[in-house]
């Protein structure tokens, strides 16, 4: 496969680190392109997560099931990584399922390949640290929003956090993410 389709993943890495020709070569040989159809399960919580996906085009949801209901935990779209973090890192089962909300094209990186890159390219450790800072900030904001805000403020925070994609996410998934009923969400949206 030529490296042309991988140019945008290179651009993503280069926001954080310099990519040497050697590192580009290794990434090219270790990253593959995968396609998921809308509604397709990307990761099953009954399996250990061994792959991380960098979304080129599309929208993916991470969720868990409680009392038979799907609870949306977060959404990932273009130029974002998605996996089941604890399962991927610790190589054990976790609670998270991942599915495609839209037809999605993503780059796939196996955990063993990521470990190889970390072991052989110290700049990859820097990339992980810098890029995870953004994710950590997002989760801290989400926790604060869930604990200390009204339903309307939660929805406003959601729209701000996911401003480029919130209109692409089904309302039932938004309601479960916010921890409110779909009726309450409809009422809040009608007030705007």
Q: What is the pLDDT of residue 129?
A: 85
Q: What is the pLDDT of residue 2?
A: 41
Q: From the centroid of its chain, how far is CA 100? A: 11
Q: What is the pLDDT of residue 8?
A: 80
**CA-closest candidate to residue 168, choices 91, 31, 75:** 75
- pLDDT tens, residue by residue, 153-167: 989 989 998 999 999
Q: What is the pLDDT of residue 4?
A: 55
Q: Using alpha carbons only, how large is the chain's radius of gyration in Å?
A: 18
Q: What is the pLDDT of residue 174?
A: 95
- pLDDT tens, residue by residue, 33-65: 999 999 999 999 999 999 999 999 999 999 999
Q: What is the pLDDT of residue 3?
A: 41
Helix (H) or strand (E) holding 99: strand 97-100
Residues in the chain with pLDDT values less than 70: 1-5, 133-136, 192
CB 75, CB 110: distance < 8 Å: no
């Amino acid at each position: 496969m030529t490296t042309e389709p991988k140019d945008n993943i290179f651009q993503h890495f280069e926001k954080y680190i310099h990519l040497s020709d050697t590192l580009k070569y290794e990434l090219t040989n270790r990253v593959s392109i995968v396609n998921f159809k809308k509604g397709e399960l990307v990761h099953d919580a009954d399996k250990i997560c061994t792959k991380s996906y960098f979304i080129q085009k599309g929208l993916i949801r991470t969720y868990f099931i409680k009392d038979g209901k799907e609870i949306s935990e977060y959404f990932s779209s273009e130029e974002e990584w998605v996996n089941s973090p604890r399962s991927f890192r610790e190589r054990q089962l976790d609670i998270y399922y991942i599915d495609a909300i839209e037809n999605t094209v993503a780059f796939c990186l196996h955990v063993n390949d990521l470990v190889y890159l970390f072991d052989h390219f110290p700049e990859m450790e820097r990339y992980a640290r810098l890029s995870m800072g953004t994710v950590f900030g997002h989760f801290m904001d989400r926790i604060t929003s869930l604990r200390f805000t009204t339903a309307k403020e939660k929805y406003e925070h959601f729209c701000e956090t996911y401003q480029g994609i919130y209109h692409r996410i089904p309302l039932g998934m938004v309601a479960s993410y916010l921890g409110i009923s779909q009726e309450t969400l409809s009422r809040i949206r009608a007030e705007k």
